[in-house]
Amino acid sequence: MDQDVLKIQPATLEELQKLGAGGSLYAILDACDAPSVPGKVRELGEDRAMSLYQGTAAEEQWAIAPYLARVDADLLAWIKARLWPEPWGIFAVSRYDLAALSRHFRRFLLVQAPNGEPWYFRYYDPRVLATFLPVCSAAEIRFLFGPVFAYGVHRPEEENVILMRERDRPAETAEVGWPVVRTPLFPLREPHLPPLQGLTESVFEHKLAAHLRKNNPEPVEGLPDEVLLKRIRAGIARARAWGFTYESTIAGFVALMFDFGPGFDTQARIREALLDRAIPPESRLDHLDERTSEDDWREAAAIGASHAWPDA
């Protein structure tokens, strides 16, 4: 990071209450591991809170979505009482309204990985933001802050919140003239990656579980969430062993494991196609149909069923 770009200082809950009373305190509440969040958002109403997901994603992923909410004393007390011990989300200090801030925060739900692949970005996880911002350049900081004067994160064992803001951006002029425009995906660099490892994996697993339950319900029917997630993790590991890196390719492979059994890929013709070095790894699933027959898939289902999932 460019030297002295960020100013980091502690803030007490009383100081946050004052920001809330002035109408400039917001929070992004992460429902992924906090099932009480969607209900609280419905209670607050659309003028106080909204999902950062839109359209179909908002409908299908409501249980694990991030929600932007304007914070007053009551909501701050609820966060402290119900969410504080967990990495529940982040605070944001801004004079902009809910709609403008939601447009800004939606920009970063997807980012571009160094290999060009779009990634889901859990910047609203305090463990990510606290380690991600310090490795950003001055230009990146200015873009990520946009209409936000300060971001706030907390550590579960502490009462205080850590506020991070641009050092040379005074509060009275921080948001004047900020342009609300569409931009390309934020590009990640190699120094950005360490804070994201492991945390992005968790949200991918949950999203894949929700996708399977909605779009491929028969193979996962009756599976408890913890069993389904364990099998998904095993499937992701197996997909990566084949050289798959894109989330879309991994998701397709895992879905085939549920459809045909965890050992479907040991069938001779399927294995041959997955090993074909003349085709890039991320494209090999797309060529399976032209390389295999219905008999091959019937055999794959028989073979796959003979292989046990790790929880069996």
Domain boundaries, the chain: 6-189, 199-305
User: What is the per-residue pLDDT for 173?
Assistant: 44
Helix (H) or strand (E) holding 167: none
Relative to beta strand 186-187, strand 110-112 is: parallel
- The sign one gets for the Cα dihedral 286, 287, 288, 292 is positive
User: What is the per-residue pLDDT for 193?
Assistant: 83
Question: What does each of the 312 residues of the chain score in pLDDT, given as a tens digit?
Answer: 555 789 999 999 999 999 999 999 999 999 877 889 999 999 999 999 999 998 877 777 788 889 999 999 999 999 999 999 888 999 999 999 999 999 999 999 888 888 887 777 889 989 889 989 998 998 899 899 999 999 999 877 777 899 999 887 765 444 445 555 566 888 989 888 876 766 667 778 887 898 898 888 999 999 998 899 999 999 999 998 998 877 778 889 999 999 999 999 999 999 999 999 999 888 899 899 999 999 999 999 999 888 888 765
Judged by DSSP in three states, 304 sits in: helix
Give me the phi and psi of 177, to 5 degrees please: 75, 15
User: How far apart, in whole angstroms, are the C-alpha atoms of residue 67 and residue 199?
Assistant: 18
CA-closest candidate to residue 223, choices 145, 104, 311: 311
User: How far apart, in whole angstroms, are the C-alpha atoms of residue 279 and residue 275?
Assistant: 9
Q: What is the identity of the amino acid at 54?
A: Q
Measured at the alpha carbon of residue 95, what is the angle toward residues 94 and 96, in degrees to the nearest 5? 90
Q: List, edge to edge, every strand of the sheet that includes 118-120.
A: 118-120, 110-112, 186-187
Measured at the alpha carbon of residue 101, what is the angle toward residues 99 and 104, in degrees to the nearest 5? 115
Name the β-bridge partners of 26.
70, 92
User: What is the per-residue pLDDT for 164?
Assistant: 94
User: Do 79 and 54 meet the contact criterion of CB atoms below 8 Å apart?
Assistant: no
Q: What is the DSSP letter of 46?
A: T
Q: What is the identity of the amino acid at 300?
A: A
User: How far apart, in whole angstroms, are the C-alpha atoms of residue 200 and residue 54?
Assistant: 20
CA-closest candidate to residue 63, choices 37, 24, 40, 99: 37
User: How far apart, in whole angstroms, are the C-alpha atoms of residue 149 and residue 175?
Assistant: 7
